[in-house]
């Protein structure tokens, strides 16, 4: 049986939309998208592209501290395959390739960056909460 995941949203019964049932089901394609977007390097690449508008491969390598060539390439391929990023190669020597967000990618990037910003802004609150005994060991 084919699920209604790939149907236009308007044709999906409203009852199945009311509350997120999609991501919670293991076989929903949205799990894949979520995986790419929230992957270790996916988040950071989207953040950078949102700021920079357009970036070369080596720019991204430098900005995203710690990423290897392999993982950067793979991450960019995922994001491109999902329609979030466009790759443009200029036919010159030495090679020149640009990456930029699509309109769709711009939207996810904003979501992701919003989360990232929250973490950065609240980092000290989080680190404080961390060291606490985690409480709740006290039985009720």
Partner DNA sequence: CAGTATCCAACGCGATACTG
Partner DNA sequence: CAGTATCGCGTTGGATACTG
Interacting residues with a copy of itself (CB under 8 A): 5-9, 19-20, 22-26, 29-30, 33-35, 37-38, 40, 43-44, 47-48, 51, 63-66, 80-83, 86-91, 102, 104, 107-108, 111-130, 132, 134-136, 139-140
Q: Are strands 85-90 and 96-101 parallel, antiparallel or unpaired?
A: antiparallel
**Separation CA 44–CA 1 (nearest Å):** 37
Residue 23, judged by CB atoms within 10 A of its CB (0-12, 13-18, 19+), counts as exposed
Stretch that binds DNA, among 5-13, 16-24, 53-61, 103-111 (CB under 7 A): 53-61
Residue choice 4, 25, 68, 111 for contact with DNA (CB under 7 A): 68
Return d(Cα 64, Cα 45) in angstroms, integer: 7
> Rounded to the nearest whole angstrom, what is the least distance from the CB of residue 48 to DNA in the complex?
14
The C-alpha atoms of residue 87 and residue 97 are separated, in whole angstroms, by 7
Task: Give the interface with DNA as residue ranges (CB under 7 A).
Answer: 39-41, 56-59, 66-71, 73, 76-77, 87, 89, 94-97, 99
């Amino acid at each position: 049986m084919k699920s209604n995941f790939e149907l236009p949203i308007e044709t999906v019964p409203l009852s199945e939309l009311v509350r997120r049932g999609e991501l919670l089901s293991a076989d929903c394609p949205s799990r894949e998208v979520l995986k790419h977007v929230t992957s270790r390097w996916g988040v950071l690449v989207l953040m950078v592209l949102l700021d920079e508008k357009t970036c070369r491969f080596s720019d991204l390598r430098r900005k995203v501290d710690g990423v290897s060539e392999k993982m950067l390439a793979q991450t960019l391929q995922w994001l491109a395959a999902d329609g979030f990023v466009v790759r443009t190669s200029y036919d010159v020597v030495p090679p020149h390739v640009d990456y930029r967000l699509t309109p769709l990618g711009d939207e996810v990037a904003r979501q992701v960056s919003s989360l990232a910003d929250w973490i950065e802004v609240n980092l000290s609150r989080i680190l404080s909460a961390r060291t606490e005994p985690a409480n709740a060991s006290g039985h009720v």
